[in-house]
Chains A and B, each alone.
Chain A
Amino acid sequence: MTALFDINQLLDEMEAGLRRTLEQRGVTDPALIGIRTGGVWLADVLGKRLGIETPFGELDISFYRDDFSRIGLNPKVKPSSLPFDTEGRDILLIDDVIMSGRTIRAAMNEIFDYGRPASIILATLVDLGSRELPVQPDVVGQVLELGAHQRVKLRGPEPLRIELQESGQS
């Protein structure tokens, strides 16, 4: 396990990218939603950096996962909490890692069950490629290509750091 990424540099990248995207789209009053667990930590940090006053929402997508029929229900599911009305709102959806795109699909389905947002901007800290669905983030901290047995994991919340794990199997 190594921590060879400068998390602050990635957060700077995300912050700058988000400011740019918000300006391009003319969004002035966005609300943040983090996907549990890593996305929630990032939403907290980015909310402060961007000066967003609306408290951020937390999404647990366990009830929307598309692999329920294969692995059953996550026993450690926690309630989602969106402390604002999503109806007509511009949403910044934050996650730590994007890969297949399935988590984001589930998250968008869940958000729509709270009300129809005006728009969703997707930002992730790391993009690992290997997409299985046509879902692309608008803002990315860093694009990474990993070896077959490597994984990245965001640890936190204090301090936030990225770990590169070798699965160690043949």
Chain B
Amino acid sequence: MTANDHSPNHLQLTRGGQLRHFLTLDGLSRELLTDILDTADSFIEVGTRSIKKVPLLRGRTVVNLFFEPSTRTRSTFELAAKRLSADVLNLDISTSATSKGESLSDTLLNLEAMASDMFVVRHSQSGAPHFIAESVTPGVAIINAGDGRHSHPTQAMLDMLTIRQNKGGFEGLKVAIVGDVLHSRVARSQIRALNELGVEEVRVIAPGTLLPRDVESLGCTVEYDMERGMKDLDVVIMLRLQNERMEGALLPSEREFFRLYGLTEDKLALAKPDCIVMHPGPINRGVEIESSVADGPQSVILSQVTNGIAIRMAVMSMAMGGQMSERQQAQAENEGSRA
């Protein structure tokens, strides 16, 4: 075994370099990220047809395994799976078996016994989808729908798709991520994707208390003053203030936060005139973003939601395809060695 075998890609890519799970953006090449975006573009077109369905996952069973509540992510994953013609089972584990004392492994064994082909996993523990991918039956694909503070790769990719749609590409772009970076799994995945796709600068704008230690090592510059930070921006991504994850007093008050880091029309005017405004949702109006900006002409927040369906269709079909071609190859090799 080489050291490489312990990288996340050993788990999420086939030997031929196809996706078979989608756990993290770490280690994925610009080429593969671009393939995901291109595939998603084709699925956007499917969403405009009279019948918004393609038969790729017909006869497959997708289980949405949500250990943490979510509306938007779960419903777009559900819609994505249905538009691929899969059968979908939604399991809200936070209110289900685990509260009766069943362990994660037992829950999974039961679901595998129902012949599931894919688990879409959201969990408050970083690394949970990775753990499941390591122990799951071969042939079953795992998609990370957000784990702890670690990553949220489909959200980051739908943001990349939205940026490419509006800016035509990534070269030369200055992109800022504003707000609660500390608690955000989205920010980590975004920084990784933006750097891999080759933007000019990723800037995080936040108070020191809402930044992880060594944030620059993720590949970004840091600005504590939002008015200075807005200069020359092509894209500004606002993060939700994650009150539910905050322990202790990281902020003086929401009103104070809005005054310093809330995106207002006045602050947006400091960026380039065609700067787009993004937000992963759900938005806290008047906390991190002014209503008139969220609903304004530079906001692309709702197209992020539409793009989320296409990105999830792309990732699900690519991972399922990787699993199936791998199974096919293994079978061929088996027959070869018997002959």
- Interface of A with B (CB < 8 Å)? 60, 62-64, 68-73, 75-81, 87, 109-110, 112-115
21 contacts between A and B (CB under 8 A): A62-B42, A63-B56, A63-B317, A64-B54, A68-B56, A68-B324, A70-B324, A72-B318, A73-B39, A73-B318, A75-B38, A78-B38, A78-B42, A79-B42, A79-B44, A80-B45, A81-B45, A87-B50, A113-B49, A113-B50, A114-B49
Inter-chain contacts of A87 with B (CB < 8 A): 50
What string of 1s and 0s marks CB contacts (under 8 Å) between B270-313 and chain A?
00000000000000000000000000000000000000000000
Inter-chain contacts of A70 with B (CB < 8 A): 324-325, 328
| B53 CB–A CB distance under 8 Å | yes
Beta-carbon contact of A80 and B42 below 8 Å: yes
Beta-carbon contact of A109 and B55 below 8 Å: yes
Total A-B pairs, Cβ < 8 A: 66
Q: Residues of B within 8 Å of A, CB-based: how many? A: 24
| B1 CB–A CB distance under 8 Å | no
What string of 1s and 0s marks CB contacts (under 8 Å) between B207-250 and chain A?
00000000000000000000000000000000000000000000
Inter-chain contacts of A78 with B (CB < 8 A): 38, 41-42
A75 CB to closest chain B CB (Å) equals 5
- Interface of B with A (CB < 8 Å)? 18, 35, 38-39, 41-42, 44-46, 49-51, 53-56, 317-318, 320-322, 324-325, 328
Bound complex: CA A151 to CA B324 (Å): 27
B328 CB to closest chain A CB (Å) equals 5
A22 CB to closest chain B CB (Å) equals 26
Beta-carbon contact of A76 and B38 below 8 Å: yes
Inter-chain contacts of B318 with A (CB < 8 A): 72-73, 75
The 7 nearest A-B residue pairs measured at CB = A72-B321, A79-B45, A63-B54, A73-B321, A72-B325, A113-B51, A79-B42
| Other A-B pairs, 6, CB within 8 Å; known A72-B321, A77-B42, A87-B50 | A71-B325, A75-B35, A76-B35, A78-B42, A80-B42, A80-B45
Beta-carbon contact of A63 and B322 below 8 Å: no
Beta-carbon contact of B50 and A69 below 8 Å: no
